[in-house]
Every structure is written in C-alpha cells, then in structure tokens.
C-alpha cells in the first residue's frame, strides 16, 4: 500500500546515483574497493579501530558470535523486546538464547535484569540500542568485568547515537549496525561490524570470504577455516558511502524532527513520548510513543494515508523461542507493554512541517 505520509523514505541524492553509476561502469560489482571505502568511512565516523561490512546486521551478529567462540552449550542473554534476529543469530550458532524483560519506559534491557539471568554457561550478553537509544554501557561493562562475559551490541538502529561523549560502535566489545531501508543510512540490505580487536576483525573478514586466508607462496588462494559468503557488494556500498558524506546533516534533521514531535505531542496527555537521558544523544531511527489502544489507532492512521508501525516484537510470544528453543527468565511486563502500546511515527529526510503537524493532529484525534 502507498501512503501519503510514509514511515521512512530512503535518502537517494544525486551523489548516490552518481556513485552507483560509477560502480556499474567499472564492471566491478562484487565486494571490492568501494566496500573498503565504506568500511573506512564507518570506522572513521564511529572511532572504531576496525569495520567489516556484511550482508545484514543478522549475519554480522552471527559471525561475531562465532568469532567469540559461542556454540552449543553456551548461553547468550538477549532482551525480549527486539527483532527476532537478535536471538535468532544465537540459535544459528547452536547456543541458547536466554530471554529477559526490558525497562517499561526505555524498552531497553537493563544490567539488573541481565544479571538475574547470568549462569555458569553465560558467554555473551547482547543488549540492544533499540530505535537509536544507547543502552547503559557503564552498567554492562561492570557485568563484563564481574562475570567475565563479552558484550556484543545489537546496534542495528543506533548509528550516530552517542553515550557520554562516545559514539556507538566503540563502547562494546563488538557492535553491529544495520543498513536496512528503515535506517536513515541504508544500502537496501546490509550490515557493519565494528570492533577495536584486530584479530576478531580479521577472523570475521575471513569467515565472510569462505574462510579465505592470504595467498600462498605460488599466489594461489588458501582457505584456512570453514566460511561462507556474507560479502557486501560495491553497488550496495556505493549507496552507503555517498550517504555517509551527509550523515551529520541527516542526523541533525532527525533530531529536529524528534524535538518537534515532542513539542507538538506534549499537550496530548494520553501519549507518552520517548525517554532520552541527558547524557545520551539519540539517533532517532524511530520516534516511538506509547499509546493505549495502539492497534486500533494504527488502523485509523493508516486508513488516512499515514504509515505508522508497531515498535517490534516480544520474543517470548513466538514459537521460535518457546518449547525449549530458548530459556525465558522472569516476567515480561515491560516487554508486553512495549509490544502492545509502542507506536512508531513517520520520520524521513525532507519531511515537511505541514506533514509532521498533520501526523500529530490525526494521532490526537484518534486518541480522543
């Protein structure tokens, strides 16, 4: 269905089209020099020592888990309120997701909730910087030290966000970003892993290239380990590389749109706006409000040509994470609230003041 006011519009500038055409004209379409440039751009922007491009955030998470040595018999703690890929990557490597609740206001897994689920089998914790809001890095770093576990950040939505002066991508042991079209930097599909650990980066790069190592004495390829094909093409990378040139402007625009939403929605007492602690800079992949009767409101908004969406999913409700496929820890009051009440509003480059005002007016009418 086509909406008058869509949830998101990809940023496709003249520069993007020019760079795509340059790749097409070069004849070098698979992963290559443009992908390397895109990796360098993301590493330089985040401040990370290394960046490795992938086909998606999901395959990036999977590969990161493999490099951390996670497999059968290991447990990995994940939040209940997240896209299924977070826990699915754990299952793919043969480990067990341990699913815990989230804070009812931030919708993030807290260190306290994660700590309650730690066992002798816990090897990794995967907090999610949901919708562009960084999690409590200080608290999770303390858990890392106390229990000797790794922190793998699902930063799918969080490129451009900042925690206490440091950009997301440098705070966890490994962070993984998404470039899905819902993200304001998008390559159609794609992901990027950042880390300061050079050995991990080398291992991840090798795994996504079929386990390929450096050429032997005769120049022939040498395959050192099992691997697969998780390469990002030059075509995709050209889109992301061109968008990275404008990331500061794109991010500033999203911040302005978020501020205006909060200002316009303040008089509507039945709507709870997003939380943003003062020491955090949100990247606003999604502007997500809480509203009761969400499903009915979503239907009414869509019928008026305004695309709105649920936040994401409560994993414990789905068969993929039931009946022994995962371990469920505690109650899920925060996650259930988020699943039932979270509503994502439209936000995109070039969104006009008139469009944003209309979204708020129609939403206000729906909740009256």
In the chain, where the domains are located: 14-244, 247-367
Which of 37-41, 128-132, 148-152, 218-222 comes out lowest in average pLDDT?
218-222
3-state secondary structure of 226: coil
Query: Which residue is catalytic, options 14, 166, 183, 231?
Result: 183
218 falls in which pLDDT band (50, 70, 90)? Answer: low
Question: 247-367: which CATH architecture?
Answer: Alpha-Beta Complex (3.90)
The CA–CA distances, whole Å, from 167 to 45, 127, 163, 241 equal 8, 16, 6, 18
217 falls in which pLDDT band (50, 70, 90)? Answer: low
pTM over 0.75: yes
213 falls in which pLDDT band (50, 70, 90)? Answer: confident
Instruction: Count CB neighbours of 70 within 10 A.
Output: 22
**What span, in angstroms and rounded, lies between the C-alpha atoms of 57 and 207?**
15
Largest CA distance in the chain: 75
Q: Phi and psi for 207 in degrees, rounded to 5?
A: -60, -40
Q: Per the structure block, which two tokens stand in for 21?
A: 């055409």
CATH topology of domain 14-244: 3.40.640
146 catalytic? Reply is no
* pLDDT computed for residue 215 by the predictor: 66
**What span, in angstroms and rounded, lies between the C-alpha atoms of 149 and 111?**
13
The CA–CA distances, whole Å, from 110 to 53, 81, 85 equal 29, 12, 19
């Amino acid at each position: 269905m086509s909406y008058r006011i869509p949830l998101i519009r990809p940023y496709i500038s003249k520069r993007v089209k020019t760079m795509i055409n340059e790749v097409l004209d070069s004849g070098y379409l698979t992963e290559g020099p443009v992908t390397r440039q895109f990796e360098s751009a993301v590493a330089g922007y985040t401040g990370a020592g290394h960046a490795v491009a992938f086909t998606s955030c999901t395959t990036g998470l999977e590969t990161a888990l493999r490099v951390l040595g996670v497999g059968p018999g290991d447990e990995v703690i994940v939040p209940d309120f997240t896209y299924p890929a977070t826990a699915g990557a754990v299952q793919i490597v043969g480990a067990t997701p341990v699913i815990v609740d989230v804070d009812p206001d931030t919708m993030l897994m807290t260190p306290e909730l994660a700590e309650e689920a730690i066992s002798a089998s816990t090897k990794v914790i995967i907090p999610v910087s949901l919708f562009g809001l960084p999690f409590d890095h200080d608290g999770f770093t303390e858990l890392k030290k106390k229990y000797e576990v790794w922190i793998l950040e699902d930063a799918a939505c969080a490129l451009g966000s900042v925690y206490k002066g440091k950009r997301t991508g440098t705070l966890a042991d490994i962070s993984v970003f998404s470039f899905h079209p819902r993200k304001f930097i998008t390559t159609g599909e794609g992901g990027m892993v950042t880390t300061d650990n050079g050995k991990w980066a080398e291992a991840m790069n090798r795994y996504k290239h079929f386990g390929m190592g450096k050429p032997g004495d005769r120049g022939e390829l040498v395959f050192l380990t099992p691997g697969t094909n998780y390469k990002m093409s030059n075509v995709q990378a050209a889109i992301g590389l061109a968008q990275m040139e404008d990331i500061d402007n794109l991010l500033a625009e999203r911040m302005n749109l978020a501020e205006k939403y909060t200002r316009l929605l303040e008089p509507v007492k039945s709507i709870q706006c997003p939380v943003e602690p003062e020491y955090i800079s949100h990247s606003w992949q999604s502007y997500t409000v809480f509203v009761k009767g969400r499903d009915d409101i979503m239907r009414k908004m869509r019928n008026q040509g305004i695309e709105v969406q649920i936040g994401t999913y409560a994993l414990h409700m789905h068969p993929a994470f039931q009946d022994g496929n995962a371990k469920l820890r505690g109650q899920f009051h925060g996650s259930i609230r988020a699943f039932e009440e979270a509503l994502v509003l439209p936000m995109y480059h070039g969104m006009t003041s008139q469009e944003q005002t209309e979204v708020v007016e129609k939403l206000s009418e729906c909740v009256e």
